Amino acid sequence: MTDKDSSSNEAYWRENIGLVLKLLLVWFLVSFGCGILFVDQLNQIQFFGFKLGFWFAQQGAIYVFVALIFFYVAKMNKIDQKHNVHED
């Protein structure tokens, strides 16, 4: 492994960790935040036939989870390419 490779590898890893932390923050906010910790406050808001907090806990969080993974996949494929660590 040359020096150039290893510095690029480090940058790759940093970028990866940054992305993962950001996505995990969203993950935490929709489930533990909206669905559990702030559920009572959000339940004051009506969202169609749902109380909003209840909707997050039983529906919304799951939709966001799915979106998060597909977003991560797309983003990581780009980061892999950028740092030239992708598979052939």
Interface residues with other proteins (CB under 8 A) are: 9, 12-13, 16-17, 20, 23-24, 27, 31-32, 35-37, 39-40, 43, 47-51, 54-55, 57-59, 61-63, 65-66, 68-70, 72-73, 76-77, 80, 84-87
Q: CB within 8 A of 66, min separation 6: which ones? A: none
Nearest alpha-carbon partner for 39 in 59, 26, 25, 56: 56
Alpha-carbon span 7 to 13, nearest angstrom: 10
Residue 74 C-beta: closest distance to other proteins, Å: 9
| DSSP E strands, the chain | 46-47, 50-51
Residue 7 C-beta: closest distance to other proteins, Å: 13
Residue 47 C-beta: closest distance to other proteins, Å: 7
